[in-house]
């Protein structure tokens, strides 16, 4: 009987301690209504130059709120399969306010009013700011396009808008709290 009451008390104590624990934070997630993870990029996200004839439009992206302490976000789109020896940066955006958790389709145009006013679109490997769509060499295996939103512990990254994607990436990693990502593919 004593063993039974000890087990009952231990079970009650374990349940009580679980109830007293704070709820686990929701996972940090990134998604797009038009791009399926591991799916093929649609023509809207394909570049319109260098032999490619897409619409070169940035996709709609939605993410959940970052972890406690998030003061801003950065967004990157990277192709590690580009035949450059260092990959290819297709989009670099930083200083997105912490209260923003969505970018509408077309926000990646540099003249777009769809981007939050404080956000900065950095220079891509196309040599200009703004979204630059997929355009892998013809006949290459499907390239991976890694979309990532970074939750940062700083309100802003202090680099000039024309800074390289590598410098912005360095600053992102120095302030990183969490990241959410998905990958899509494209070949021609």
The whole-number mean pLDDT for each consecutive block of 10 residues of the chain, a chain of 188 residues, reads 40 37 71 96 96 97 98 98 97 98 97 94 96 97 98 96 94 98 98
**8-state DSSP, 142:** P
Residue 11 pLDDT: 37
Q: Is 109 exposed, middle or buried (0-12, 13-18, 19+ CB in 10 A)?
A: middle
- The dihedral through the CA atoms of 85, 90, 94, 99 has a sign that is negative
Residue 24 pLDDT: 55
Residue 13 pLDDT: 38
The pTM assigned to this predicted structure is 0.86
Distance CA 43, CA 47 (A): 8
- The alpha helices in the chain, defined as continuous H runs, are 2-20, 165-175
**8-state DSSP, 34:** S
């Amino acid at each position: 009987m004593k063993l039974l009451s000890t087990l009952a008390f231990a079970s009650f104590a374990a349940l009580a301690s679980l109830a007293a624990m704070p709820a686990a934070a929701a996972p940090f997630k990134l998604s797009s209504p038009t791009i399926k993870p591991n799916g093929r990029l649609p023509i809207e996200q394909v570049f319109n130059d260098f032999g490619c004839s897409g619409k070169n439009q940035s996709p709609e992206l939605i993410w959940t709120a970052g972890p406690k302490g998030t003061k801003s976000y950065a967004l990157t789109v990277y192709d590690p399969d580009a035949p450059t020896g260092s990959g290819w940066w297709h989009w670099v955006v930083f200083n997105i306010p912490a209260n923003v958790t969505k970018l509408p389709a077309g926000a990646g145009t540099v003249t777009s009013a769809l981007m939050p006013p404080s956000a900065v679109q950095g220079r891509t490997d196309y040599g200009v700011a703004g979204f630059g769509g997929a355009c892998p060499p013809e006949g290459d295996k499907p390239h991976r396009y890694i979309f990532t939103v970074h939750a940062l512990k700083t309100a802003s990254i202090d680099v000039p808008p024309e800074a390289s994607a590598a410098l912005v990436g360095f600053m992102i990693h120095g302030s990183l709290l969490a990241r959410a990502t998905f990958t899509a593919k494209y070949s021609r």
